[in-house]
Structure 1
């Protein structure tokens, strides 16, 4: 069965696991409950996942083709137990090769590597969504130039994977400004989120693509994203789901931000 493509929020650092014993912290519980359902509620479990995180950039799109990647604890200042987390899903080298070939065929030369661990944009949300760690995963980097059109094109090139049972996941945050983390930014965050949702849900494919590529023209865009690495996974997902409009499937308010998730297909 054809899989959808998701843009998912991955929270802040190991936010869902701050309490070593006990429930998720209250502020992150709503998001955690959403992540726990998002794959479980699919009509068919994906054969594998291709994940694009806002925490990996390379000069060219690069796939991780390791068989059993380690975890990269690329956050700081959190409780000691959050650096002992485990999530041991297998890699999928054949899927990595397939993704690289699709990118190459689309004129987007792709690199491969085997040593980098999965960053927290991968293992933190997926540890919530797939606690059994039983779905193979391939991670794809962003391209360092942060060109939104190139990331939409990469998603379009990877779209055939959806017909092969692969779930394409963009992991980021729809609002990401570490200097604006209180209630004073709430109105701005709401206005940006409303405009971003309208762009994602635009039924006209050409208009939708232009509005997303020109995301910086949306209200308060550079307040929402002083640097756009956490938004660009959405561009890949939108390209992969370009056969139809997306829809907002989750909205929450955390640390003063408005945070949304989107589904295509």
Structure 2
């Protein structure tokens, strides 16, 4: 069975785990938490492994992590002390990493392998919600530092065969990511950007979809929504890997005054 691909929002820092007693997060984050918690049940079958690309890892060329992501990389700042002791101890998936590397090299993409870097919060925070038992192996893949949209769509296309091999491909980022712009005054602009992005991402013509999303900077308020593009680029990988199948809006809500969306492909 062919698995879909996903672009999911990973929230802000350890947003789902701010209560040291393990209670509910701030109400603002609960719909996003519920969406992430329901993703596994929404799939046609349980993945054998996950390949995840986060907006928090860039390398000059694509890098694949061959280890188990430990110790975790707590790459957020100014949060309560207990959030630097969170754990998600899934096993790595070096076999999937090697297979992904073979696919990428076959598509003429240079690939580097490494085992020292811990999984960043763009991986372990959403995975703690989505796979709380940490019982699905995971491999993290980096973005390419040039953040070229068309290249990342092509990288996704190269990885598409993994979907028939029980691997769930997940892009982890945020559809809106301007940390300096928050509050209700931002919402009208964020809504206009989100509507334009969603229209492009869900274009029923897959070729037009890829072209429109690759030209994301032409959408209204694009560089306001993303002063830097790293949180949007995981979307390109998920879209490319999703192939010619349907693309749907999987999640939509508001946090921090931002419209935030998640998408499913294939």
Please state which band the TM-score falls in when normalised by the shorter chain: over 0.9
Range with bigger deviation, 199-208 or 251-260: 199-208
In the other structure, the counterpart of 1:6 is 6
C-alpha displacement at 1:245, in angstroms? Answer: 3.2
The TM-score normalised by the length of structure 1 is 0.98
Q: Is the 8 A contact 2:53 2:172 kept in 1?
A: yes
In the other structure, the counterpart of 1:53 is 54
C-alpha displacement at 1:124, in angstroms? Answer: 0.0
Q: Is the 8 A contact 1:40 1:129 kept in 2?
A: no
C-alpha displacement at 1:204, in angstroms? Answer: 1.1
Q: What SS class does the counterpart of residue 41 from structure 2 fall into?
A: coil
Summarize the alignment of residues 84-123 of structure 1 with structure 2, pairs less than 5 Å apart: 84-123=85-124
C-alpha displacement at 1:246, in angstroms? Answer: 1.0
Q: Is the 8 A contact 2:69 2:118 kept in 1?
A: no
After superposing on structure 2, the runs of 4+ consecutive aligned residues of structure 1 that deviate more than 6 Å are none
Q: Structure 1: 5+ residue runs without aligned partners?
A: none
Determine if the alignment matches structure 1 residue 169 to structure 2 residue 170.
yes
Summarize the alignment of residues 4-153 of structure 1 with structure 2, pairs less than 5 Å apart: 4-21=4-21, 22-67=23-68, 69-153=70-154
Determine if the alignment matches structure 1 residue 196 to structure 2 residue 202.
no
Q: Is the 8 A contact 1:69 1:91 kept in 2?
A: no
CA-based RMSD: 0.8
CA separation in 1, counterparts of 2:52 and 2:64? Answer: 10
Range with bigger deviation, 36-45 or 221-230: 36-45
Q: Is the 8 A contact 2:69 2:119 kept in 1?
A: no
C-alpha displacement at 1:40, in angstroms? Answer: 2.5
